[in-house]
Amino acid sequence: MTSHLLLLAVFAFFVSTVFAALMRDDPRAQLQTGGLLFGSFLLTAVVLGWLMYPLPL
Amino acid sequence: MASKSTTAERARASAEPGTCVLVCLLAWAVPGAAHFWLGWRQKATVFFVALTAMFVIGLALNGRIFPFEFAEPLVALAAIADFGLGLPWIAAHVLGVGRGVVTAVTHESGNTFLIVAGLLNFLVILDAFDLVTGRK
């Protein structure tokens, strides 16, 4: 399992799940919050990745 | 989902300082155990499965469980974060796993999984504390 994108998605999934369970009590609200967090994680990572693309290492 | 009345009743009944310490220790030792005891079974299951999985994945990715070396502040901070996971952390020490392979491609990802699992469990401990003191 060396794909950075896959690891990012797995990490985002678990963190979103824990945060959603911490922040919301109702299962439906947990699902909505978790999905929103997960999508935000992925979108932010992809956007930041492209923004950093031109920068020299 | 656990009924809120049961949780609230337990929180009111168990707000003594000794019980608060016990709940926090329980929450530290086994992720989700305090929530289970307080009646929040669904949340307890989520915390246990997610945090344990993150810890195991971190070890599988050749992450390192950092030692308490206060001469190196970043290592010490990572060690404190790792320590947040309680019994899995102790089990890893006893079994001698978590030494990390610095040359592995996934080493830093493994470290991230281990550190964040510990930090998330600190949040779970705070949530259990809020529940038992009736703040939530």
Please write the tens of the pLDDT for every residue from B37-88: 999 999 999 999 999 999 999 999 999 999 999 999 999 999 999 999 999 9
Q: Do A15 and B116 make contact, defined as CB atoms within 8 angstroms?
A: yes
Give me the pLDDT at residue A2, please.
Answer: 74
Which residues of chain A are within 8 Å of residue B47 when distances are taken between CB atoms? 18, 21
Give me the pLDDT at residue B17, please.
Answer: 80
Q: How far apart are CA B58 and CA B115, in angstroms?
A: 9
Contact status of B46 with chain A (Cβ, < 8 Å): yes
Q: How far apart are CA B31 and CA B117, in angstroms?
A: 10
* Secondary structure of residue B84 in the 3-state scheme: coil
- Residue B30: both structure tokens together: 């086994």
Tell me the ipTM for this assembly: 0.88
Interface test with A, best of B59, B120, B125 (most A CBs within 10 A): B120
* Secondary structure of residue B66 in the 3-state scheme: coil
Q: How confident is the model at residue A14 (pLDDT cuts 50, 70, 90)?
A: very high
Residues B77 and B59: beta-carbon distance below 8 Å: no
Residue among B42, B47, B53 minimizing CB distance to A27: B42
Predicted TM-score (pTM) of this structure = 0.87
Q: Do A4 and B127 make contact, defined as CB atoms within 8 angstroms?
A: no
Bridge partners, residue B99, by sequence:
B64
Counting the structural domains of chain B, the total is 1
User: Which domain does B31 fall in, by range?
Assistant: 4-132
